[in-house]
A = this chain, B = another copy of it.
Amino acid sequence: MDLLKKKILEEGQVYAGNILKVDCFLNHQIDCTFLAEVGKEFHRLYQNEGVNKILTIEASGIAIGAIVAQEFGCPLVFAKKNKTKNIAGDVYTAPVESFTHGTTYNIMVSKKFLNPGDKVLIVDDFLAIGNALNGLISLVKESGAELVGCGTVIEKGYQHGGDKLRAKGIRVESLAIIESMDADKGEIVFRD
């Protein structure tokens, strides 16, 4: 997606440790006009697959999920990271290791909102090692719903999470795949 690559090059910042900050348009301040284009692109890619539910994970997947769900005219469900008093009853749950924070947490979705017969598109802002996506995929499988595929805005190709999922036969569409970054030069190279 050329608009996304342009925004990454113009507004993203590369730091040592392979950190790409896009908090000015994607995951802290969110450019919702741009996000509308992201929603249209995921809809174009998955429009013939009978998607009836978008699944994401709090927090930074939610804005993307909401806009994508509007394009598909279907509900968004977001997995929660911490059990709250307000989720009563049965949940699907999976452990997710956080690469950023060095911890493991449980994600959960109420069993009411994922069911056999659902055709689920998973969306998220970033795909790196793929831990969050793997957790979400495990929730979908546990529920008996059908996984249509995954849509991530930015994939860090050099961490190979997307490649591993594709090797398992899961459709993964990323709107920009970064092959390498150089913090000293501020350079970003995209996969063709």
Contact = CB atoms under 8 A, between A and B. Distances in A.
Interface stretch (A71-79, A135-143, A166-174): A71-79
A31 B75 contact: yes
Contacts of A75: 25, 29-32
A85 interface: yes
Interface in A34-68: 35-36, 58-59, 62-63, 65-67
A80 interface: yes
A66 B28 contact: no
B28 A69 contact: no
A101 B87 CA distance: 12
Nearest to A28: B110
A80 B87 CA distance: 21
A75 B73 CA distance: 23
